[in-house]
Amino acid sequence: MATELSEVTIRTATPRDAAVIAQVHIASWRGAYAGIVPDEYLASLDVDQREELWAKILSGGEGSLWVAEADGRALGFANLGPSRDEDAEDGDLEIYAIYLDPEAWGRGVARDLMRTMLGEVPPGTPVSLWVLADNERAKHFYRRHGFQPDGVERREDIGGKDLTEVRFRRP
Protein backbone atom coordinates (compact mmCIF):
# COMPACT_ATOMS: atom_id res chain seq x y z
CA MET A 1 0.00 0.00 0.00
CA ALA A 2 1.25 3.47 -0.77
CA THR A 3 2.25 5.75 2.07
CA GLU A 4 -0.58 8.15 1.30
CA LEU A 5 -4.15 6.90 1.17
CA SER A 6 -6.68 8.43 -1.15
CA GLU A 7 -9.73 9.78 0.63
CA VAL A 8 -11.11 7.29 3.13
CA THR A 9 -14.82 6.58 2.75
CA ILE A 10 -16.86 5.21 5.62
CA ARG A 11 -20.14 3.60 4.72
CA THR A 12 -22.71 1.29 6.27
CA ALA A 13 -21.75 -2.34 5.77
CA THR A 14 -23.99 -4.76 3.89
CA PRO A 15 -24.05 -8.57 3.81
CA ARG A 16 -21.84 -8.37 0.69
CA ASP A 17 -19.05 -7.06 2.93
CA ALA A 18 -18.77 -10.22 5.05
CA ALA A 19 -15.70 -11.51 3.17
CA VAL A 20 -13.67 -8.29 3.38
CA ILE A 21 -14.67 -7.76 7.01
CA ALA A 22 -13.49 -11.30 7.80
CA GLN A 23 -10.15 -10.66 6.09
CA VAL A 24 -9.60 -7.38 7.95
CA HIS A 25 -10.72 -8.96 11.24
CA ILE A 26 -8.14 -11.77 11.02
CA ALA A 27 -5.33 -9.51 9.77
CA SER A 28 -6.04 -7.11 12.63
CA TRP A 29 -6.08 -9.87 15.25
CA ARG A 30 -2.79 -11.27 13.94
CA GLY A 31 -1.18 -7.83 14.05
CA ALA A 32 -2.66 -6.46 17.26
CA TYR A 33 -2.58 -9.59 19.38
CA ALA A 34 0.82 -11.05 18.41
CA GLY A 35 2.63 -11.68 21.68
CA ILE A 36 -0.64 -11.43 23.65
CA VAL A 37 -2.76 -14.28 22.21
CA PRO A 38 -0.99 -17.60 21.50
CA ASP A 39 0.62 -17.71 18.03
CA GLU A 40 -0.98 -21.10 17.32
CA TYR A 41 -4.43 -19.63 17.88
CA LEU A 42 -3.75 -16.64 15.63
CA ALA A 43 -2.41 -18.94 12.90
CA SER A 44 -5.56 -21.10 13.17
CA LEU A 45 -8.01 -18.27 12.46
CA ASP A 46 -10.02 -19.19 9.38
CA VAL A 47 -11.29 -16.54 6.97
CA ASP A 48 -14.17 -18.72 5.73
CA GLN A 49 -15.44 -19.34 9.27
CA ARG A 50 -15.11 -15.67 10.14
CA GLU A 51 -16.94 -14.74 6.91
CA GLU A 52 -19.87 -16.99 7.94
CA LEU A 53 -19.98 -15.28 11.33
CA TRP A 54 -20.01 -11.79 9.80
CA ALA A 55 -22.60 -12.80 7.19
CA LYS A 56 -24.94 -13.84 10.05
CA ILE A 57 -24.25 -10.63 11.96
CA LEU A 58 -24.85 -8.46 8.88
CA SER A 59 -28.04 -10.33 8.01
CA GLY A 60 -29.32 -10.13 11.59
CA GLY A 61 -29.56 -6.36 11.58
CA GLU A 62 -28.76 -5.82 15.27
CA GLY A 63 -26.56 -2.82 15.81
CA SER A 64 -24.73 -0.78 13.21
CA LEU A 65 -21.65 -1.78 11.24
CA TRP A 66 -19.45 0.45 9.12
CA VAL A 67 -16.64 -0.27 6.66
CA ALA A 68 -13.75 2.11 5.95
CA GLU A 69 -12.42 1.99 2.39
CA ALA A 70 -9.70 3.70 0.40
CA ASP A 71 -7.80 2.90 -2.75
CA GLY A 72 -10.49 0.39 -3.72
CA ARG A 73 -10.18 -1.85 -0.69
CA ALA A 74 -11.52 -2.30 2.82
CA LEU A 75 -9.18 -0.98 5.51
CA GLY A 76 -11.27 -1.46 8.62
CA PHE A 77 -14.66 -1.85 10.19
CA ALA A 78 -16.52 -0.94 13.36
CA ASN A 79 -19.60 -2.40 15.05
CA LEU A 80 -21.84 -0.64 17.60
CA GLY A 81 -24.98 -1.93 19.27
CA PRO A 82 -26.92 -2.34 22.52
CA SER A 83 -24.70 -2.99 25.53
CA ARG A 84 -24.43 -6.66 26.50
CA ASP A 85 -23.06 -5.87 29.97
CA GLU A 86 -24.97 -7.28 32.94
CA ASP A 87 -25.11 -3.87 34.60
CA ALA A 88 -26.16 -1.97 31.46
CA GLU A 89 -29.26 0.15 31.50
CA ASP A 90 -31.75 0.31 28.65
CA GLY A 91 -30.30 2.45 25.89
CA ASP A 92 -26.63 1.95 26.86
CA LEU A 93 -24.45 1.11 23.87
CA GLU A 94 -21.36 -1.01 23.32
CA ILE A 95 -18.65 -0.96 20.69
CA TYR A 96 -18.41 -4.62 19.79
CA ALA A 97 -15.52 -4.25 17.36
CA ILE A 98 -13.23 -1.74 15.74
CA TYR A 99 -10.52 -3.37 13.67
CA LEU A 100 -8.13 -2.16 10.97
CA ASP A 101 -5.83 -3.87 8.56
CA PRO A 102 -2.40 -3.29 10.16
CA GLU A 103 -1.29 -1.52 6.97
CA ALA A 104 -3.82 1.21 7.82
CA TRP A 105 -2.64 1.76 11.40
CA GLY A 106 -1.55 5.29 12.20
CA ARG A 107 -3.27 6.83 9.19
CA GLY A 108 -6.41 8.22 10.84
CA VAL A 109 -8.73 5.45 9.65
CA ALA A 110 -9.58 4.23 13.18
CA ARG A 111 -10.14 7.84 14.25
CA ASP A 112 -12.58 8.33 11.37
CA LEU A 113 -14.41 5.10 12.20
CA MET A 114 -14.65 6.07 15.88
CA ARG A 115 -15.94 9.55 15.02
CA THR A 116 -18.54 8.04 12.69
CA MET A 117 -19.73 5.64 15.40
CA LEU A 118 -19.79 8.23 18.16
CA GLY A 119 -21.65 10.59 15.84
CA GLU A 120 -24.53 8.09 15.87
CA VAL A 121 -24.70 7.97 19.68
CA PRO A 122 -27.47 10.08 21.20
CA PRO A 123 -26.15 12.79 23.58
CA GLY A 124 -25.71 11.53 27.12
CA THR A 125 -25.81 7.85 26.14
CA PRO A 126 -23.11 5.78 27.87
CA VAL A 127 -20.92 3.67 25.57
CA SER A 128 -18.73 0.79 26.74
CA LEU A 129 -16.18 -1.48 25.10
CA TRP A 130 -13.89 -4.32 26.17
CA VAL A 131 -10.16 -4.39 25.49
CA LEU A 132 -7.45 -6.89 26.34
CA ALA A 133 -5.51 -5.54 29.32
CA ASP A 134 -2.19 -6.08 27.50
CA ASN A 135 -3.25 -4.17 24.37
CA GLU A 136 -1.58 -0.85 25.17
CA ARG A 137 -2.02 0.57 21.65
CA ALA A 138 -5.80 0.11 21.80
CA LYS A 139 -6.12 1.44 25.34
CA HIS A 140 -4.23 4.60 24.34
CA PHE A 141 -6.53 5.03 21.31
CA TYR A 142 -9.69 4.65 23.43
CA ARG A 143 -8.45 7.15 26.02
CA ARG A 144 -7.89 9.71 23.25
CA HIS A 145 -11.59 9.32 22.38
CA GLY A 146 -12.87 9.93 25.90
CA PHE A 147 -13.07 6.33 27.15
CA GLN A 148 -11.69 5.42 30.56
CA PRO A 149 -11.42 2.09 32.39
CA ASP A 150 -14.26 1.83 34.91
CA GLY A 151 -12.72 -0.85 37.13
CA VAL A 152 -14.67 -3.79 35.70
CA GLU A 153 -12.62 -6.71 34.39
CA ARG A 154 -13.38 -10.18 33.10
CA ARG A 155 -11.31 -13.23 32.26
CA GLU A 156 -11.40 -14.70 28.78
CA ASP A 157 -9.81 -17.92 27.52
CA ILE A 158 -8.42 -17.23 24.07
CA GLY A 159 -6.50 -20.02 22.44
CA GLY A 160 -5.93 -21.75 25.77
CA LYS A 161 -4.50 -18.64 27.45
CA ASP A 162 -6.29 -16.96 30.35
CA LEU A 163 -6.43 -13.24 29.46
CA THR A 164 -7.86 -10.22 31.25
CA GLU A 165 -10.23 -7.85 29.49
CA VAL A 166 -10.85 -4.37 30.86
CA ARG A 167 -14.06 -2.45 30.32
CA PHE A 168 -13.73 1.14 29.15
CA ARG A 169 -16.69 3.52 29.28
CA ARG A 170 -17.53 6.89 27.86
CA PRO A 171 -20.32 8.68 29.74
* Backbone CA torsion sign across 52, 56, 86, 66: positive
- Show the 3-state SS of 36-68: CECHHHHHHCCHHHHHHHHHHHHHHCCCEEEEE
Q: So what's the pLDDT on residue 63?
A: 85
Answer with the residue of higher pLDDT: 92 or 5.
92
165, 130, 127: which is closest to 146 by C-alpha? 127
CATH number of 9-125: 3.40.630.30
Domain borders along the chain are 9-125
What pLDDT band is residue 60 in, cutting at 50, 70 and 90?
Answer: confident
What pLDDT band is residue 61 in, cutting at 50, 70 and 90?
Answer: confident
Residue 5, pLDDT > 50, answer yes
